[in-house]
Structure 1
């Protein structure tokens, strides 16, 4: 196979979700609709939290950051896919592909860390209610978000810079709708042991750490709730965690589904379709989960809609 030095690579080709050109208009319409819902839904969540004074608490601060992160996460991948379909051009520049890898990693890691931070917030609220305001003070909340962002950037830059050392073959087709790190590494002709090792280490540290934090937080939450004397108190405590648990289940459930799909199928198209589940579906459904299952959010949304109608 003819080798090509990495500096000579000018572009990759994104094969997308289907090679049936008749289905491309349907794919374009579906992803455009989903992207608009993601942006509008998450913006409404941020606006409702900003406008509602009763929502100016750590839990809703983290939720607003999560909504902004979801918008950014989707914006990194979907618009490029829509442009390619509309222009009938599946190419993506080398630098643009590396940038996409970097930003997908940043916002994917950020989602992971934010869910862990939100679980810790619920743990403090339920298990240490008298010290909640002291522990979850504004400085602490901002620092947790900043450290989550710094860890995410560190992980993403490490993987992106390691891709720069790879050389690629003449086959530069990516069976995906965006530049996914694992797929790019598979295209390399040079030794990828270090890249794969770093992925494994990052999953263990930056993935396993937040997951363990979420699990241990909810172990303490459940044990604390079960010791409550009144059923009303138990119900109220569990209801404050219901939305977060739903989002956690959705995010990690789709991610686990991608892993199972890639393990049991050799079809790269099926793997790409499964990857869409964790990169598009959570940002799409998160606003609905928090708005439909949270009473305070419902009230704030009603007030926001009322103000907008009045202004119109």
Structure 2
């Protein structure tokens, strides 16, 4: 995803000199082509994410479209006050990019796990929150936030994520993207956990369980119309996110469901169960430990679909 983001940003910078990228002293392996081609549209702010964010806000208020770039929690939680006061409050044209959502940096411990970011960022007024699921969606989301005025958050994986071949026609901020139809339940997901979701669907199909799959590349504004439609078609909706279940994507879906008239679908949320990971390991390992692997997603769907 990060390579596709950089190549897309380079295409945007080539046609718009107001595009400016600010990094927090990392990403050099993938950012080098950008800064070599656009040295006047690039700044290394150093390991100072709060300064980076205020700097970006100032540039944005002077007419620039500024992308800040760092890993995990660093461009979000570490710089939260600056995002709130300097960017969101002023509706500044700052695009905050996190590389390494969820457990991407699992072996580095909880300080590098981004498992509260969606909840925190969607709680800020005037902030659009996007979590694409594969490189193609990362490209579309980058183009979308570039064109969208105001402060945006783009949550990416790291690199090597497979193409999920999610539909791309009609991609826009705030729109869910149906991937597969089904009969017994609906799997709703956001972010790079999509590979596990699609494998879970395959495992369930082999057992005769038919599940719909819907990608939500936008967490805020959530596609309330799509959720309402799904709630009328299915008895069970299952949300999957590589994130805390409190306040994130599942929480956003729950808010929509809570205001629908009865009857409405039952909601089951799969994610990190309101805790920090006290263990370290690869992303795949931690997903399995905390119930987000394909086999554990399938087991949970099997359980609720038969309830």
TM class by shorter-chain length? Answer: under 0.3
- Which TM-score applies when normalising by structure 2? 0.26
Which structure has the highest helix share of the two? 1
- Which TM-score applies when normalising by structure 1? 0.26
| Greater RCO, 1 or 2 (C-alpha within 8 Å, sep 6+) | 1
Which structure has the highest strand share of the two? 2
